[in-house]
Amino acid sequence: MSGASLLERLSDRVAGALLELGGPVGYGSGEVVFSEGGDDGHAVLVLTGAVKVRATDEAGDAALLAVLSAGNLVGEMAALDGQPRSATVVACGPVTGRLIPQHQLLDFVDFHREVLVELFRVRADQVRWANELRRAMPHHAATRIARVLGHLVRHHGSRTTGGWTLDLPLTNVELASIAGMKSRTAEKAFSRLRDAGVVLTSTRRAVLVPDLPRLDLIASGQQLP
């Protein structure tokens, strides 16, 4: 079930019980869900929309670590270990969810141990993805950006009549931070993909991938013309 959300991995009974925890909460686009260094201990189960997870690097810049969509739990690390928040979570467009107090989540995972197992598997998928990006470091910038876009499209995109659409407000700087490159390099690589017709963009920052298999070829190392 690689790439599946936490809710998709759980049995129907346990997923239903998780959905009953806490209370409803909503966030507007760009609104902070959690702040890095915060000592609040609750978690949020994302029901609709997606969130960006970012942390401050040694240079003081905000690096985008991940994008998590509906069905995933965010903020659970601080809830489980009682430590300060290790990252900032921001709504990537309108988001609805369930705000789960720390004590409820601790009692729940103590009774439903499969939740801990599936949380570990979700995080393991993220680590494997990060390792894959590190292995791609020797490749050309367009290859690395293509891998990032392919991953995001498959996890957060939707099928349309013209191919696949990724409707997330991600900047080239954020794409660069995921790919582990400078923003200027990422901008040039993205422009090459756009000029070759591999990706199309709209005024809303939505990205259209008309031919996903072609994007995969670029991601595998095939050179752009």
Q: Which tens digits make up the pLDDT trace of 30-85?
A: 899 999 999 888 999 999 999 988 887 666 667 788 888 899 999 998 888 889 99
Name the pTM for this structure: 0.82
Q: Per the structure block, which two tokens stand in for 98? A: 């369930």
d(CA 28, CA 34): 13
